[in-house]
Structures are given as structure tokens and as C-alpha cells.
Amino acid sequence: MEKLYDKSLTELHDMLAAKEITALDLTKATLDRLKETEEQIGSFITISGEKAIALAKAVDAKGITESNPLAGIPIGIKDNIVTKDILTTAGSKMLHNFNPIYDATVMDKVYQADMIPVGKLNMDEFAMGGSTETSYYKKTKNAWDQTKVPGGSSGGSAAAVAAGQVPVSLGSDTGGSIRQPAAFNGIVGLKPTYGRVSRFGLIAFASSLDQIGPLTRNVTDNALALTAISGFDEKDGTSAGVSVPDFTEDLTGDIKGMKIALPKEYLGEGVQPDVRTAVLKAAETFKALGATVEEVSLPHSKYGVAVYYIIASSEASSNLQRFDGIRYGYRSENVKNLEDVYINSRTEGFGNEVKRRIMLGTFSLSAGYYDAHFKKAGQVRTLIKQDFDHVFADYDLIIGPATPTVAFGLGENINDPITMYMNDILTIPVNLAGLPGMSIPAGFSEGLPVGLQIIGKHFDEHTMYKAAYAFEQATDFHTKKPVILGGE
Amino acid sequence: MAISEEQVKHVANLAKLSFSPSELAEFTKQLGKIIDMVEQLEEVDTQGVAFTSNVNQTINVMREDVAVPGTAREDLMKNVPEAENGYIKVPAIIDNGEAGA
């Protein structure tokens, strides 16, 4: 059979609907591809092959028609999304033995769409990190250069898609955890508007910031996947009762008259020259397509990282209280009394980055520091949000780099938390304001991909996809492949 | 602002974590740097600025008070590390000393 692993989701769908291949053929080919590539990339914590085969047979029995564009398509799932009867670790020793008894709402939607989950993807422990190196289980490699990090925390989700292990994956993004690894691996990753996708069954890190979103190798595939996983969910009190459009509609390439803003702060100090050049070239591309691009200012964005580390860590310290060794997960053997179960299970079950965040959050919420830290951060968050409101009063979209640099080396920043945190300086403000943001391929620096970030208004992913699609049609960055996918 | 080892110990106690002396020294150093970084917020004038805890405008979400089937007890117990007679088993709350748990 011809190779299937470099095909897009829409190409695969056409083959399935035309009965050139079955879902079972595709699932088997995907599992073979995982076998061939997993040692090199290391993106999966768990491969659920038997379940995938059984599901593929059931989908074939039902039949695949043109009206169900995702039926039979293999998908990888970040390991902080709970999957019934499939090990779900969140990259932590704490959940080394956790087999959920229910599915996250996004999994219900994946199954309703007749997609085939093939396994659980590696990630930074509890989604805390920017390189997937804080995972308890393994190191994932960048699809373009196996000496570089895949980014994080959804590093497995990005590397798996870029390396052709799966055509689509789900990740989660609290401060950049979909966009940064998508940028580092040269693929399309979108963090939806806060409330667009249900968080029910997403193991909580920072509840006011977390969102689940899709990673794919092109814009149309991404729009298809987001359409499938979006929508109000009564099980998530913050999910939004807004209608879900078909995000693939209106991908015409025509963006004449679109008003795009380029914040000067996003091209400032710390942004690599090649990254800056790629973004400025992207601005020219948009202009050539008939959009206007003008410089604007987001004056409080420089405080984003500080605000984020207080808010996200405070919420995390509260959310992670549930891991106490009692009802599920890791329980220390080294105990004499109940207090030991709590302290020793947490001390032995959590890694250092998770402990740092719990400690910072607990400190920020503790007596004497609450006003100076947590309350202050919540106020500056308001100012960051207002900066965006001002720009979006006059513009349709904001563009900038997704990350200040291209992928860095494995081991390079792992012992330097602040350098690691600064990596998210361009993505964090979007989460703080609850806006949708995406990264699309926009260039290369020394053989490594550069990601262009596109930020939209609340619940206006539609316009982002429209612009991203037009950019994709006008450029050839998305057609370049890493060696593992057949590139040169 | 630097943070002292004593403060780090106090916070660890609140968070139910423990650190060896060498870890404590390392965490104190790292947390101190992170706290210095976040304290740059002091320079921002936030007089009269509202506090944002969540960008979602919804306050309360209600549902109809209708009974729905719950989760089977057997399922709920599946991930429990140690159980006996349908109960979750934990060591004694008061230290048993040499006798252990």
C-alpha cells in the first residue's frame, strides 16, 4: 500500500470515503508507523493499539461517508485528557497507575466523530514546562532535529503530528502549551477562546487559563478538528453557550480589507533576528493579499510572565491539592500515619517543576503575600486584557511571533526556570485575556521552524482560520517536511 | 525580596511537601529568583483597577434538579490504592510509632 503517514486529514478522508482504504487499514498503518518512529521521536506514553483496532472495525462496519469528514481518522491525545480505561498519567509519577473510569467531554466528541484514538501523548508533568523534559516518563524529540526539544507542554502532541505519526492530535494550552510546540515543530496549533471547548476531564492545571485545542499539519485539518471538539457542555461551568460554526467554511484565501495589528512589544528584545524577519515578511504577505498591517502597542504585555506565574501557580497549588495518595494515584509505601501518606505521596509523586509551582502558588496565596502577589496579579491581568480590547476595537487580528526563539537544545534550559518561563512571554497574555491564539509555519532559522502567532477576538477563530488559510495558500512553509516525514 | 529557608519550610508545610536540607537550599534560591521576577509588578499602578479572576462573564450556571444515575461504587473504587470491605483503607491518623501503620 502507498504510504499514508504524510497525508493530510482531508486526503485520508477522501480515500476512506472512496473505499480505497478502510479505517482498519489506516489504523494498522498508523500503528506500524508508530513502531517505526517511536524510538526516534518518543512522543507517546501509551499506545492503545488493541482498542484502536476494535474501534476501527466498528467504524468500518458503520460505514464512512462524505458527511462525516473525521470518521476513521487516527488521533493522538495529550495525556492530561482523561480516557476511560486507558492509562492517563499527565506525565507524572503521581498518576503512574491511573485508569480513568470516565471520558473527558472532548473524548466523547472524538468518539462521536468516529475518530480512532491511538494513544496518549507525552507532556511536561501536569502541563508545567516548555520542553516536555519535566515528564516523568521519557524525553520527546523535536521532529526536525532530534537534539532539540519539541517544546511543551504539549511536546508529544506536536512532535507526533510533525513526524507523521498521526495527522491530528489534541493538546492543552495554559500559557502557550499548544502554540509553542506547534511553532517549534513547524505545524498548526490552535488554542481556542476560553470556554469554546469543554474542560471537563482535562486534568486541571490553572482553571481560568486552560483550554484544549487541536494540532495538525495544515489549517483546514485544524479547522475540521476544532469544529468537532467545540461546544457548550453542562459539565463545565465555564464552557460558553455560543454556537459553533463550521470553521472550514469560508476558507477562500480572500482576506482583502482585513485589518491586522502588529504589536511593537512582540518584536522587542529577546526575539531572535530570524524570527523577527519571518514575522515582518509575514506582514508583507498579508499586505500583498490585500490586508492592512499596522503597528500597535500592548504596553502591559511585558508583565504577562510575572502575572501568569502568580495566577497559574496559585490555581495549580489549589488544583493539585487533590493528589493526596488516598483515592487514586501514587501512594507512598514509606508511611507510619495518615499525615505521612499525604506528605510522602506528594513529595515522592511530584517532580521538581511541579513542586516549584505549588510552592510559588502556596506562597502567593499565603497570609501576608496575598495582596502584594495574587491580588496585584489579578489587577495587572485586567490591564493586559484592556490592552487587547483597545486594539481589537480597531483591528480584526493581531500577529506576532509565537516564540522569541526557535527550538532550543535538549537539556539546555531545564535547570534555569526563569529562562524557561520567558519562552512563553509572547503566548501568555493571550491566555490571561481568554483570547484564541494559533501558531502557523512562517519560516525557518538554521533548519528549525519559526511559528507565526495569530490572535483573534473572543470566539472569532473563524477569522483567524481565514487569515491563516490565505497565508498558507500564499506561502510554501507548510510544504517543507522534516527528514522523518520524507523531507531533505 | 529574598525568601528565607524558614519561610520555604513553612510554605512546604502548608503544601504538604517535604524537602531534604540540600533541596531546601536549592528551592530557596530558585524561589527567591522567581519571586524577584514576579515582584516587578510592584512598578505597575493598579490604583482602582478591577481584579480579574476569570475572563468568563458567567456567574452561576444552574441545571434542572433532576436525578440522574450516579457512578457505580465498584467503578469509583477501581483506582483506590488500598481498600477493605468497600472502604478506602488508610494508616492510623495518630502515629503508631514502632508498630507502624
- SS3 of residue A77 by DSSP: strand
Q: What is the pLDDT of residue A22?
A: 98
Give mean pLDDT, residues A312-334. Answer: 97
Neighbour count for residue A139 (Cβ, 10 Å): 16
Cβ separation A372–B92 shorter than 8 A = no
Contact assignment for B31 to A303 by CB distance below 8 Å? no
Residue A44 has what pLDDT?
98
What percent of chain A is predicted at pLDDT more than 70? 100
Q: Using CA of residue A69, residue A70, residue A73, residue A75, what is the dihedral sign?
A: positive
Are the Cβ atoms of B80 and A327 closer than 8 angstroms? Answer: yes
Query: What's the CA gap between A260 and A252, in Å, rounded?
Result: 18
Residue of B nearest to A430 (CA): B55
pLDDT reading at B101 higher than 60:
no
pLDDT confidence of residue A154: 98
List chain A residues with CB under 8 Å of B24.
none
Q: List pLDDT tens digits, range A216-249.
A: 999 999 999 999 999 999 999 999 989 999 999 9
Tell whether A306 is within 8 A of chain B (Cβ).
yes
pLDDT value for A372: 87
Average pLDDT of the residues in A167-174: 98
Residue A195 contacts B, CB cutoff 8 Å: yes
pLDDT at site A388: 98
Rounded CA gap, A255 and A273, in Å? 28
pLDDT at B84 over 60: yes
ipTM over the 0.90 cut-off: yes
pLDDT of A27 reads: 98
Q: List the beta strands (DSSP E) in A43-154.
A: 44-47, 74-78, 116-121
For the stretch A82-122, pLDDT in tens is 999 999 999 999 999 999 999 999 999 999 999 999 999 99
How many angstroms separate the CA of residue B59 from the nearest CA in chain A? 9
CA-based angle A94:A99:A104, to the nearest 5? 100
Asked if residue A165 has pLDDT above 60, the reply is yes
CA–CA separation, A297 vs A264, rounded Å? 6
Q: What is the pLDDT of residue A1?
A: 59
Residue-wise pLDDT tens digits, A414-448: 888 888 888 899 999 999 999 999 999 999 999 99
pLDDT tops 50 at residue A472: yes
Please report the pLDDT score of residue B1 as a whole number.
57
pLDDT in the model for residue A246? 96
DSSP B43: G
Q: Is pLDDT at A125 greater than 50 in this prediction?
A: yes
Q: Find the angle CA(A129)-CA(B17)-CA(A335) to the nearest 5 degrees.
A: 125
Which pLDDT score is estimated for A381?
Answer: 98
Nearest to B79 among A238, A327, A342 (CB): A327
Say if B24 is an interface residue toward chain A (CB within 8 Å).
Answer: no
Cell numbers placing B98? 514502632
Candidates B22, B29, B52, B56: best to mutate against A (most CBs of A within 10 A) is B52
Distance CA A300, CA A390 (A): 12
| Banded model confidence at residue A138, pLDDT cuts 50, 70, 90 | very high
What gap in Å lies between CA A473 and CA A451, rounded to an integer? 16
pLDDT per position as a tens digit, B10-56: 999 999 999 999 999 999 999 999 899 898 999 999 999 999 998 87
B interface test, pick of A134, A369, A379, A425 with most B CB neighbours within 10 Å: A379
User: Residue B96: which pLDDT band, with cuts at 50, 70 and 90?
Assistant: low
Average of per-residue pLDDT across A336-358:
96
> Does residue B89 register a pLDDT over 60?
yes
- Catalytic positions of A, written as ranges: 78, 153, 177
Mean pLDDT of A446-457: 97
B81 and A418: CB-CB below 8 Å?
Answer: no
Q: What is the pLDDT of residue A75?
A: 98
Tens of pLDDT along A34-52? Answer: 999 999 999 999 999 999 9
